[in-house]
Amino acid sequence: MNSRPVVALFWEGLNVLKTGRVMLGETNPADSKPGTMHRDFCIQVGRNIIHGNDSVKSAEKEISLWFRPEELVKYKSCAHHWVYE
């Protein structure tokens, strides 16, 4: 994370950890499925372009490293009631 500029994102939503991990792919790009970020944009594990957490606990810890509580904005999409029960 110190070899290039970093963009920190905080995602939230139903099953966001599982969904995020599917989008990222396996840690080793060679083991990832086509269409995932690791498979399409990475070559070696040591030159990873993206990081995602594997648990709520680790996500909470890392979110606190990047963001102050007042920087986290609550957002509810206008389509929320069409998507969620």
Q: Which of 85, 83, 14, 4 has its CA nearest to residue 51?
A: 4
Q: How many domains, the chain?
A: 1
Q: Does some domain include residue 5?
A: no
Q: Does some domain include residue 75?
A: yes
pTM of the shown model: 0.73
15 touches 85 (CB < 8 A): no
Let me know the angle formed at the C-alpha of 85 by 19 and 23, rounded to the nearest 5 degrees: 10
- Which residues are known to be catalytic? 51
Q: Does some domain include residue 24?
A: yes
**Which residues span the domain enclosing 45?**
16-83
Residue-wise pLDDT tens digits, 38-84: 999 998 888 878 888 889 999 999 999 999 999 988 888 899 899 88
Q: Does some domain include residue 52?
A: yes
Q: Does some domain include residue 60?
A: yes
| pLDDT confidence of residue 34 | 95
Determine the Cα–Cα distance for residues 85 and 1; give it in Å rounded to an integer: 38
Q: Does some domain include residue 4?
A: no
Tokens of 48: 């990873």
